[in-house]
Amino acid sequence: MTRDARSDDVAGRATALGLDGIDIDSAVATIARKLAFYDDHQPDKSAYPNEAKADAWTTVPASDWVSGFYPGALWYVHEFAMRRQWPDQALWRQRAHTWTTGLTDEQFTTTNHDLGFMIMDSFGHGYRLTGDEAYKAVVLQAAESLSKRYSETVGLIRSWGAIDDADNFVVIIDNMMNLELLVWASENGGPDRYRRIATQHADRTREEFFRPDHGTYHVIDFDPRTGALKRKYTHQGLADESCWSRGQTWAIYGYAYLHEATAEPRYLKHSIAAADHYLSRLPADHVPPSDFDSGLMGLEHRDSSAAALASCAFFRLSRLCPDAADKTRFWLAAVNALKTLLQRPYFSSSPDHASALRYQARNFHPDASHRLTNTSLIFGDYYLLEALLTYDGAVQPTSKAPSP
């Protein structure tokens, strides 16, 4: 099915189900104002937004795993500006380009697995929207760098630790999101081995990271000499056997993407199973606690970034599922999450908040005043924008600009 046909199908369901009421233009304009404010007031273009408790972002260097989300958000606004023919669309392109080029040196890094986040969200969007071959070259080099963290013995890409660590081989569920870099590169001039690495990583992840109920572990350490499993634990959740909600959404999104990219049915099956576990544990407002097993359901313990990411994943599943009932239920799940996130208390247009999306959690923590919880995160706004643009492309399929 073509993208336009898929969009027509989704738009028809949206009309039939009466799912109007999402003010796309207002929401994107609000996020855009906040993104522009940071750019206008930040002379140091190597200081990337990270997290915010109030009206100012903390920042990280280009080498940090979140560095690609701010330029990625700028590219999304540029894309929307093209769709709506905003008079300042060229300015948004320039902003996105400036912050993207600040990440150029990261294409050569082999010290982390997060090149997918860093490079696809910046240079990947830049190439998708402009066709600039210089962007593509960076993506291809980044894929080669990431491939160096793969072990044939373990069958996985090392997430944390030195590339030559002989004692530990640590992998996290988040790594499912970085496989897009390898698959895309294999289809755009890179070697076929990139795709093989990505699928082998995904297949062993399914074997090791999923519990019988399809909840996920966060971290697994393997023996790099033999590939044997050493232990399963958490770094960002409540406990080793609990379900960290954003980790669950990384899995849903990652496997949905892989199915779309490879047409392998097993990846769609994995994504749906992970999605069903997530949906079965959601509270009534469609925004999960930072850990499903914490028992802490107050706003200060929610993670709206996980809800934004889930909305993106559910829109994709709605498009990909062959079963009509699945298409509808995932569409509803995506829209319900998006509608909640665009309302108070989760959405803020106030200058008192650096971000648009509030009540996020980098990690689970029982103390709501802790830096890692009850905060805002740049990737929350990024995925909220992605959900908005995806929804816009579905309900307004005549849009001329490419959809995310």
- pLDDT of 127 over the 80 cut: yes
- pLDDT value of position 396: 78
Q: Is residue 62 within 8 Å of 102, Cβ to Cβ?
A: yes
Is 392 among the residues known to form the active site?
Answer: no
**pLDDT (tens digit per residue) in 285-296:** 999 999 999 999
Q: Which amino acid is at 40?
A: D
Kindly list the domain boundaries of the chain, sorted by start residue: 3-395
Residue 399: per-residue pLDDT: 52
Predicted structure pTM score: 0.93
10: confidence class by pLDDT, cuts 50, 70, 90: very low
Q: Give the side-chain half-sphere CA count within 13 A for 359.
A: 22
| Percent of the chain whose predicted confidence (pLDDT) is above 70 | 93
pLDDT band with cut points at 50, 70 and 90 for residue 77: very high
Residue from 9, 39, 114, 303 carrying the catalytic annotation: 114
Measured between alpha carbons, how far is residue 117 from residues 85, 112, 142, 256, 305 in Å? 28, 11, 11, 16, 15
pLDDT tens sequence across 300-330? 999 999 999 999 999 999 999 999 999 999 9
pLDDT of residue 398: 56
Mean pLDDT of the chain: 93
pLDDT band at 58 (very low <50, low <70, confident <90, very high): very high
CB 256 within 8 A of CB 183: no
Nearby residues of 295 by Cβ (< 8 Å), 6 or more positions away: none
pLDDT tens by residue, 339-398: 999 999 999 999 999 999 999 999 999 999 999 999 999 999 999 999 999 999 998 765
Catalytic status, residue 8 = no
pLDDT tens track for 171-187: 999 999 999 999 999 99
Q: From the candidates 39, 174, 291, 303, which is the catalytic residue?
A: 174
CA atoms of 197 and 177, how far apart (whole Å): 14
CATH number 3.90.550.10 is the correct assignment for the domain at 3-395 = no
Residue 6 has pLDDT above 70, yes or no: no
**Interatomic CA distance for residues 215 and 267, integer angstroms:** 16
pLDDT value of position 223: 98
Q: How many whole angstroms from its chain centre is CA 389?
A: 14
Per-residue pLDDT, 16: 33
For 79-113, what is each residue's pLDDT tens digit?
A: 999 999 999 999 999 999 999 999 999 999 999 99
Averaged pLDDT for residues 201-212: 98
In this predicted structure, the answer to whether residue 201 has a pLDDT above a threshold of 80 is: yes
Angle, helices 324-341/265-280, rounded to nearest 10 degrees? 50
Q: Would the pLDDT of 5 be above 60?
A: no
Q: Please tell me the predicted confidence (pLDDT) of residue 21.
A: 82
DSSP-derived pairing of the beta strands 169-172 and 219-222: antiparallel
